[in-house]
Amino acid sequence: MGSERSEPGSVRPGGRTARVRAAVLQAAGDALAERGFAHLDLADIARRAEVGKTTVYRRWGTVTSLVADLLVDMAEQSLSRTETGSLLGDLKANARLVQRTLADPRQGALFKAMIAAATCEAKTAEALHHFYDIRVEEWAHCVQQAIDRGEVPEDTDTHEVIRAVSAPLYYRLLTSGDPLDEDAADRAAEAAAAAARAGAYLRSK
């Protein structure tokens, strides 16, 4: 009495428990990608993962919190970052990476579904924000290098430049039916670079 009930998997996270988590997250990603966020039930995920339905309900409970866990998992696996020596080159590399990810049928659907899930619950939204914070943070360095090289003004908000590259690609993914091609990626990078050089992303208003 009075003792806090800890989350399942926190006391014995090894062996079987870890295997179950991996299988369920894998199945959740598959289901999310091919069926979409709306018509998705945990029973189906349990079936795919060859795991007891009870287990899924006990450990995650709702679709949104399962997606939140999936996001935590994805945030942990970092992607490599290329360096080309110029701001435009680096931003293009970033834009191409984002574009390829979103254009891929499975990954694209997965990201759409995760964004949808994040609009439905605060916890999931937080996980999504954290995911993007990490990605943005990683790439912000290349903007800092551009500042050091004198390519862009001194107190440019480095994070904001990186976000400016992704924004049009996500906007197109969500609000238009047009395909996400390499031209779109290059245009996003060029626009962000041009705006950054012109001082549109200065920290001081």
Partner DNA sequence: CCCATAACGGGACCCCAGTTTCGTTAATCG
Partner DNA sequence: CGATTAACGAAACTGGGGTCCCGTTATGGG
Residues at the contact surface with a second copy, assessed by CB under 8 A: 36-39, 63-64, 112-113, 115-121, 125-126, 128-129, 132-133, 160, 163-164, 166-168, 170-172, 174-177, 183, 187, 190-192, 194-195, 197-201, 205
Which tokens in the block code for residue 40?
A: 């998705």
Nearer to DNA, 47 or 130 (CB): 47
Nearer to DNA, 18 or 134 (CB): 18
By CB under 7 A, the residues from 33 to 92 that bind DNA are: 41-44, 51-55, 57-59, 61, 63
Provide the phi-psi class of 87: left if phi over 0, else alpha when psi is between -120 and 50, else beta: alpha
- Residue 9, binding choice from DNA, a second copy, none, Cβ under 5 to 8 Å by partner class: DNA
Distance, CA of 102 to CA of 21 (rounded, Å): 25
User: Can you say whether the dihedral through the CA atoms of 100, 101, 105, 106 is positive or negative?
Assistant: positive
By CB under 7 A, the residues from 2 to 21 that bind DNA are: 6, 8-17, 20-21
Distance, CA of 193 to CA of 187 (rounded, Å): 10
Nearer to DNA, 56 or 110 (CB): 56
- Residue 17, binding choice from a second copy, DNA, none, Cβ under 5 to 8 Å by partner class: DNA
- Evaluate whether 165 touches 87 at the Cβ level (below 8 Å): no
CB of 94 to a second copy, least distance (A): 14
Q: Which H or E run includes 104?
A: none
Q: What is the CA radius of gyration of the chain?
A: 20
Residue that is written with structure tokens 């208003």 in the block = 205
Is residue 153 part of the contact set for DNA (CB under 7 A)? no
